[in-house]
């Protein structure tokens, strides 16, 4: 038997109301036995059934839906009017609204303070708080709402989910159960039952966290697997492909509208869009540069602005910046507010990424729903993703540089051999001009190889570049590569050229575009031979360069290249650089020839005076 009958009889007999009851110990024992078999058993069965209902809540639901489901069962079982949940957020030091039954989240205050509130007192003490008359309770601030709902008493129960690892923190909150009775007397048994149900609810949340951590580990493994699979392909790692394979792994965790990776220039003046998801149907202009001063949130990320606000519309932490409502946050410019509205972006997460303590990149996650907060484990996954993408970007740049080393390296070796032969002759005066020419070419090409190596980290300095001069120089280097590779029966044609065709760019980027296109055009010439031709001209606002080669390109390949699905590394590099230059690539496929037309915006000399 669950009850110590003898002790219970003695306790009953001490009650004043039993003194005049003509009942002996044997009858009391029978009464207690009947109560145990018929009342207590049924009550415990009912409590256990209700507890099991809470334990069986699907842990795959959101935290809010789990809490709302549990409060529904508590309201129904305890005969209450309604119930609500608040969770303590240590970053804002406030109690966040986290669900209610019946659901009234739109009408509830999003935040209430920890200090000076019943919810806060319960969280600090982790003890149940009973309020027989809410209107007489000083700690309950919003009494107008209580009057409208017609409730007068409250039982506030602590909710605690203990941490799993030392690096985590306990999740603490409060379940507030409201009743219509005024000056209500709360019985010990209903208080105990409510606490038991709260503890079982914490078990559901804990189980959800275990499943979530397992899923996070699966996500990490999937991210690494995608990157290594891409790394192992013949074409080498391509950031766009990695990004668009990896980001969907987060789709079932975060309701993403889009995601982007930005790099930050060394002087902190600009941010550059390096990759974006989704690739198709998105709104990302890869390679586009934005001034840090245009967006307050960029200045905050780069420590060029101090945050002194305390707004409900953004959350600023050392690990991330969450714009809860882009339309109301002061950290979002007017222009970006319009952009967010047009694309239905309702919250934005900014995650800074550092290398050796120096901020070099950040990621943005645009969400369709208005997220109030992100969990620490979600932020940790985003940081892991960002770090892996930064590695992928470095590997991509290394692949690009190794690919583009080939032509200048081959040409340099050829010019070096020629120079050596000239120097072996006794009369250097006759070959002086040729020696100086070869020496100049060697100096230029070895300097360029150095720039390619440095492009793993930076791309030099933007300058005004003459497109015709660069194309002619790269054509000269490609001639040497043709000789070194013993390519037969190639006829070279040059011109006409526009001598005043200037563009604003990094010189090495324009050189890489022409090197790759000339190399591809040379390889496309049939074995029996053909023509390789170049020319430049102006077309309105465009500086145009054409590279023509003998050889037919199938229509499906032409379309695939124009759609950004080029198979070769060189065309992939070319397309990325052309986007960065805000230019275009057109392909004209003739019967026996293929023409690559490169368009780059012309540079206009600023007016003086």
- Give the domain CATH number at 349: 3.30.450.40
DSSP for 185-250, please give it.
PPPHHHHHHHHHHHHHHHHHHHHHHHHHHHHHHHHHHHHHHHHHHHHTSTT---HHHHHHHHGGGG
List, as one string, the DSSP characters of 258-311.
Answer: EEEEEEE-TTSSEEEEEEEE-SSS----TT-EEEGGG-HHHHHHTTSS------
Q: Pairing between strand 111-113 and 129-131?
A: unpaired
pLDDT digits 0-9 by tens, 245-293? 777 777 666 666 788 888 888 778 888 887 777 766 556 667 778 889 8
Residue span of the structural domain in which 301 resides? 252-458
Residues 390, 394, 395: CA angle, nearest 5 degrees: 115
- The interaxial angle of helices 63-78 and 188-231, nearest 10 deg, is 160
**pLDDT (tens digit, 9 = 90+) per residue, 302-340?**
888 888 776 778 888 878 888 988 999 989 999 889 988
Both 536 and 451 in one domain: the answer is no
Give SS3 for 64: helix
Residue 47 in domain: no
Is the separation of the CB atoms in 509 and 554 below 8 Å? no
Question: Is 111 part of a structural domain of the chain?
Answer: yes
Torsion of CA 350, 351, 356, 360, to 10 degrees: -40
Q: What was the pLDDT predicted at 279?
A: 67
Are 170 and 256 within one domain?
no
Residue 216 and residue 338: Cα distance in Å, rounded? 34
Whether residue 50 is contained in a domain is answered as: no
* Three-state DSSP class for residue 131: strand
For residues 347 and 314, give the distance between their C-alpha atoms in angstroms, rounded to a whole number.
9
- Residues 454, 491: one domain? no
Flag residues of the chain having pLDDT under 50.
1-2, 232, 234, 456-459, 608-609
Tell me, yes or no, whether 34 and 91 share the same domain.
no
Helix/strand/coil for 348: strand
Residue 157 and residue 21 share a domain: no
Picking from 501, 497, 454, the residue whose alpha carbon sits closest to that of residue 475 is 497
Same domain flag for 371 and 438? yes
Q: Which helix (H) or strand (E) holds 44?
A: helix 41-55
Strands 270-277 and 289-291, sheet pairing: antiparallel
Q: Which of 502, 487, 509 is nearest to 575 (CA)?
A: 509
CA torsion sign for 498, 509, 262, 356 is negative
Examine residue 326 and state whether it is found in any structural domain, yes or no.
Answer: yes
In a domain, 48, yes or no: no
What domain count does the chain have?
Answer: 4
Task: Please indicate, yes or no, whether residues 397 and 444 belong to a single structural domain of this protein.
Answer: yes
Distance in angstroms (rounded) separating the CA atoms of residues 343 and 329: 17
Residue written as token pair 């334990």: 55
Q: Bridge partners of 178?
A: 82, 154
Of 458, 481, 508, the residue at which a domain comes to its end is: 458
Torsion sign over Cα 442, 445, 448, 453: negative
Same domain assignment for residues 469 and 424? no
Residues 92-102 as b/e (b if ≥16 CB within 10 A, e otherwise) read: bebbbbbbbbe
Q: Are residues 265 and 392 in the same domain?
A: yes
**Rounded-to-integer distance, Cα 25 and Cα 6, Å:** 9
Q: Identify whether 243 is part of a domain.
A: no
183's tokens: 């000056």
Residues 544, 467: Cα–Cα separation, whole Å: 8
pLDDT at position 456: 46
- Length of the chain as a residue count: 609
CB within 8 Å of 149: residues ≥ 6 apart = 81, 82, 178
Q: pTM for the complete prediction?
A: 0.50
Find the CATH number of the domain harbouring 578: 3.30.565.10
Cβ atoms within 10 Å, residue 539: 11
Q: Does residue 364 share a domain with residue 268? A: yes
- CA distances (Å), origin 262, targets 160, 229, 364, 374, 460: 39, 24, 8, 21, 19
Residues 240, 286: contact at Cβ < 8 Å? yes
pLDDT, residue 609, reads: 44
Give yes or no: residues 516 and 589 share one domain: yes
Asked which of 198, 231, 264 is the last residue of a domain, the reply is 231
Query: What is the rounded distance in angstroms from the CA atom of residue 317 to the CA atom of residue 382?
Result: 15
In a domain? residue 362: yes
Q: Write down which residue in 411, 431, 458 finishes a domain.
A: 458
Percent of the chain that is helix, strand, coil (3-state, to 5):
45, 20, 30
Residue 239 lies in a domain: no
Residue keyed to tokens 């809410």: 134
Question: Measured between alpha carbons, how far is 483 from 128 in angstroms, rounded to an integer?
Answer: 87
Question: What pLDDT is attached to residue 129?
Answer: 94
Handedness of CA 374, 390, 210, 214 (dihedral sign): positive
Q: Do 418 and 282 belong together in one domain? A: yes
């Amino acid at each position: 038997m669950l009850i110590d009958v003898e002790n219970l009889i003695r306790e009953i007999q001490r009650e004043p109301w039993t003194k005049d009851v003509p009942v002996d110990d044997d009858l009391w024992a029978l009464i207690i036995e009947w109560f145990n078999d018929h009342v207590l058993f049924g009550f415990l069965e009912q409590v256990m059934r209700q507890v099991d209902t809470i334990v069986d809540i699907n842990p795959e639901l959101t935290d809010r839906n789990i809490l709302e489901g549990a409060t529904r069962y508590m309201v129904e079982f305890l005969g209450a009017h309604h119930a609500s949940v608040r969770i303590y957020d240590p970053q804002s030091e406030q109690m966040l609204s986290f669900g209610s039954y019946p659901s009234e989240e739109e009408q509830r205050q999003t935040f209430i303070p920890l200090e000076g509130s019943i919810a806060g007192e319960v969280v600090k003490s982790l003890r149940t708080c009973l309020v027989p008359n809410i209107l007489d309770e000083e700690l309950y601030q919003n009494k107008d709402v209580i009057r409208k709902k017609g409730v007068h008493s409250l039982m506030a129960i602590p909710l605690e989910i203990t941490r799993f690892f030392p690096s985590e923190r306990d999740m603490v909150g409060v379940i507030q159960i409201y009743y219509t009775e005024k000056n209500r007397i709360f019985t010990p048994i209903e208080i105990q039952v409510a606490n038991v149900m709260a503890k079982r609810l914490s078990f559901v949340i804990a189980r959800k966290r275990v499943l979530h951590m397992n899923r996070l580990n699966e996500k990490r493994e999937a991210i690494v697997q995608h990157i290594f699979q891409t790394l192992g392909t013949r074409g080498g790692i391509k950031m766009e492909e990695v990004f668009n394979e990896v980001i969907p792994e987060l789709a079932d965790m975060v309701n993403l509208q889009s995601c982007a990776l930005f790099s930050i220039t060394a002087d902190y003046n600009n941010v550059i869009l390096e990759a974006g998801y989704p690739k198709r149907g998105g709104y990302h202009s890869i390679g586009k540069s934005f001034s840090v001063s245009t967006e307050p949130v960029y200045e905050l990320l780069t420590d060029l602005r101090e945050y002194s606000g305390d707004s409900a519309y953004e959350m600023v932490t050392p690990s991330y910046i969450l714009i809860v409502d882009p339309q109301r946050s002061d950290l979002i410019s007017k222009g970006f507010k319009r952009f967010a509205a047009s694309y239905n972006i309702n919250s934005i997460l900014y995650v800074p990424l550092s290398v050796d303590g120096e901020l070099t990149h950040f990621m943005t996650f645009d969400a369709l729903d208005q997220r109030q907060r992100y969990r620490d484990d979600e932020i940790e996954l985003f940081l892991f993703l960002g770090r892996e993408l930064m590695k992928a970007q470095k590997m991509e740049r290394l692949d690009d540089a190794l690919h583009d080393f080939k032509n200048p390296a081959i040409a340099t070796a050829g010019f070096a051999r020629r120079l050596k032969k000239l120097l072996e002759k006794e009369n250097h005066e006759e070959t002086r001009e040729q020696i100086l020419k070869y020496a100049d070419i060697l100096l230029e090409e070895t300097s360029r190889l150095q720039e390619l190596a440095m492009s793993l980290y930076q791309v030099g300095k933007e300058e005004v570049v003459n497109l015709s001069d660069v194309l002619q120089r790269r054509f000269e280097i490609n001639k040497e590569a043709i000789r070194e590779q013993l390519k037969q029966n190639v006829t070279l044609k040059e011109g006409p050229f526009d001598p005043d065709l200037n563009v604003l760019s990094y010189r090495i980027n324009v050189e890489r575009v022409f090197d790759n296109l000339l190399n591809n055009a040379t390889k496309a010439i049939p074995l029996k031979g053909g023509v390789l031709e170049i020319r430049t001209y102006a077309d309105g606002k465009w500086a145009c360069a054409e590279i023509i080669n003998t050889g037919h390109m199938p229509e499906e390949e032409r379309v695939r290249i124009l759609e950004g699905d080029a198979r070769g590394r060189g065309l992939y590099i070319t397309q990325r650089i052309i986007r960065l230059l805000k230019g275009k690539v057109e392909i004209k496929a003739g019967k026996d020839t293929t023409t690559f037309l490169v368009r780059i915006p012309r540079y206009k000399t600023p007016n003086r005076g």
